[in-house]
Structure 1
Amino acid sequence: MSLPLSTTSGPTQKASTRRCRPNYPKAAITGDAGYEYTDSPSLRDDGDDYLSTDREGVALTVTQNIWDGWRREAGVDVAHLNEDVAGLGLGSTVQDVLFEAITAYHEVLRQTRLIEIARSDEENLQVQLQLEDERVQRGSGITVDVLQAKSRLQLAKERRVALEGRLKAAVARYQQVFSTAPDVADLVDPVPPIALLPADVDTAINLAMDDNPALAASAKGIDIASQERIAARSDFFPRLDLVGSAGYDNDVDGVEGYRENYSIVLRVTWEFFSGFATQSRVKRASAVYGQRMSEFNDAGRRVTEEVRLAWENLETSKSRVELLQNAVNIAEEVYDARQRLREAGQESSINVLDSLSELKTAQINFVDASYNARLSVYRVLRAVGHLRPQDMGLDEPTLTTAQ
Structure 2
Amino acid sequence: MSNLRSLIFALCLSIGTCLSLAAADDMPANAEPLSLARAIELALAKNFSIQVEGYDAAIASARVTESLGKFDPVLSGAYTTSGNRNPLLTFDPTSGDRNTTYDTADSYDVGVSGLLPWGLTYRLGASTTNARGTFNGYADNYDSFAGFSGTQPLLRDFGFGPTLASIRIARTNRAISEWQYRQTVIDVITGVTYAYHDLNFAYAALRTATRSRDLAAGLLDENEKRFKVGSMSEYDVTAARSRVAGREEDLLSAERQVRNAENFLKQLISDDRTPALLGRRLALEPPAPAPIVVVDAAADFRVALEKRPDYQQAKLSLRRSDLNSRLQRNQLLPRVDLVGSYGYNGLDADRSASRRQVEDKDYRSYSWGVVVSVPLTFTTERGRYRAAKLQQRQAATSLEQVEQAIVVSVGNAAGQIETAQKRISANREARELAQATLDAEVKRLRVGQSSTFFVAQQQELLSIAEVREAAAMSDYHKALAEYDRQLGLTLEKLNVTLDTPK
| Contact preservation (8 Å) 1:94, 1:397 | no
Counterpart check, 1:132 vs 2:235: no
Give the alignment of 1:2-401 within 5 angstroms: 2=42, 3-4=44-45, 5-6=50-51, 7-21=54-68, 24=71, 26-37=73-84, 50=101, 52-60=103-111, 62-65=113-116, 66-67=118-119, 68-69=157-158, 70-179=161-270, 183-192=281-290, 199-235=295-331, 236=333, 238=336, 270-273=372-375, 275-276=377-378, 277-388=380-491, 390-394=492-496, 396=498
Structure 1 residue 330 displacement after superposition: 0.9
Q: Deviations over 1:349-376 (max 9, x none)?
A: 3322222221121111111121112111
Q: Deviations over 1:245-294 (max 9, x none)?
A: 6788899xxxxx95758767777655433641322222221121112122
Shift of the 161–246 alpha-carbon distance from structure 1 to 2, 3 Å rule, reads farther
Structure 1 residue 83 displacement after superposition: 1.2
Q: Deviations over 1:158-212 (max 9, x none)?
A: 22121112112112212211225664334332455766xx731222333222221
Structure 1 residue 227 displacement after superposition: 0.6
Structure 2 CA distance for aligned equivalents of residues 248 and 293 of structure 1: 61
Q: Deviations over 1:322-360 (max 9, x none)?
A: 111110111111112222222233333332222222112
Aligned partner letter, 1:16? R
Structure 1 CA distance for aligned equivalents of residues 260 and 312 of structure 2: 35
Q: Among the aligned pairs, what percent are the same residue? A: 16
Aligned partner letter, 1:187? E
Structure 1 residue 243 displacement after superposition: 6.0
Structure 1 residue 297 displacement after superposition: 2.0
Structure 2 CA distance for aligned equivalents of residues 295 and 266 of structure 1: 49
Structure 1 residue 306 displacement after superposition: 2.5
Unaligned runs of 5+ in 1: 42-47, 252-256
Structure 1 CA distance for aligned equivalents of residues 449 and 243 of structure 2: 21
| Contact preservation (8 Å) 1:243, 1:267 | no
Structure 1 CA distance for aligned equivalents of residues 347 and 76 of structure 2: 14
Structure 1 residue 94 displacement after superposition: 0.6
Structure 2 CA distance for aligned equivalents of residues 247 and 191 of structure 1: 87
Structure 1 residue 123 displacement after superposition: 0.6
Structure 1 CA distance for aligned equivalents of residues 369 and 69 of structure 2: 21
Structure 1 CA distance for aligned equivalents of residues 166 and 172 of structure 2: 10
Shift of the 95–192 alpha-carbon distance from structure 1 to 2, 3 Å rule, reads farther
Structure 1 residue 305 displacement after superposition: 2.8
Unaligned runs of 5+ in 2: 1-40, 89-98, 120-156, 271-276
Structure 1 residue 395 displacement after superposition: 5.9
Structure 2 CA distance for aligned equivalents of residues 282 and 324 of structure 1: 61
> TM-score, normalised on structure 2?
0.68
Shift of the 240–92 alpha-carbon distance from structure 1 to 2, 3 Å rule, reads farther
Shift of the 194–332 alpha-carbon distance from structure 1 to 2, 3 Å rule, reads closer
Structure 2 CA distance for aligned equivalents of residues 248 and 106 of structure 1: 84
- Aligned Cα root-mean-square deviation (Å): 3.3
Structure 1 CA distance for aligned equivalents of residues 347 and 288 of structure 2: 81
| Contact preservation (8 Å) 2:307, 2:488 | yes
Structure 1 CA distance for aligned equivalents of residues 195 and 295 of structure 2: 27
1:358 aligned counterpart, secondary structure: helix
Structure 2 CA distance for aligned equivalents of residues 264 and 190 of structure 1: 82
Q: How many residues matched?
A: 386
Structure 2 CA distance for aligned equivalents of residues 87 and 376 of structure 1: 26
Structure 2 CA distance for aligned equivalents of residues 208 and 191 of structure 1: 26
Structure 1 residue 27 displacement after superposition: 4.2
Shift of the 192–13 alpha-carbon distance from structure 1 to 2, 3 Å rule, reads farther
2:80 aligned counterpart, secondary structure: strand
Structure ID, larger Rg: 2
| Contact preservation (8 Å) 2:178, 2:500 | no
Aligned partner letter, 1:272? V
1:54 aligned counterpart, secondary structure: strand
Structure 1 CA distance for aligned equivalents of residues 340 and 191 of structure 2: 57
| Contact preservation (8 Å) 1:56, 1:250 | no
| Contact preservation (8 Å) 1:20, 1:72 | no
Structure 1 residue 393 displacement after superposition: 4.2
Structure 2 CA distance for aligned equivalents of residues 263 and 167 of structure 1: 86
Structure 2 CA distance for aligned equivalents of residues 300 and 200 of structure 1: 17
| Contact preservation (8 Å) 2:344, 2:364 | yes
Residue 141 of structure 2: aligned partner: none
2:108 aligned counterpart, secondary structure: strand
Structure 1 CA distance for aligned equivalents of residues 318 and 339 of structure 2: 31
Structure 1 CA distance for aligned equivalents of residues 205 and 344 of structure 2: 85
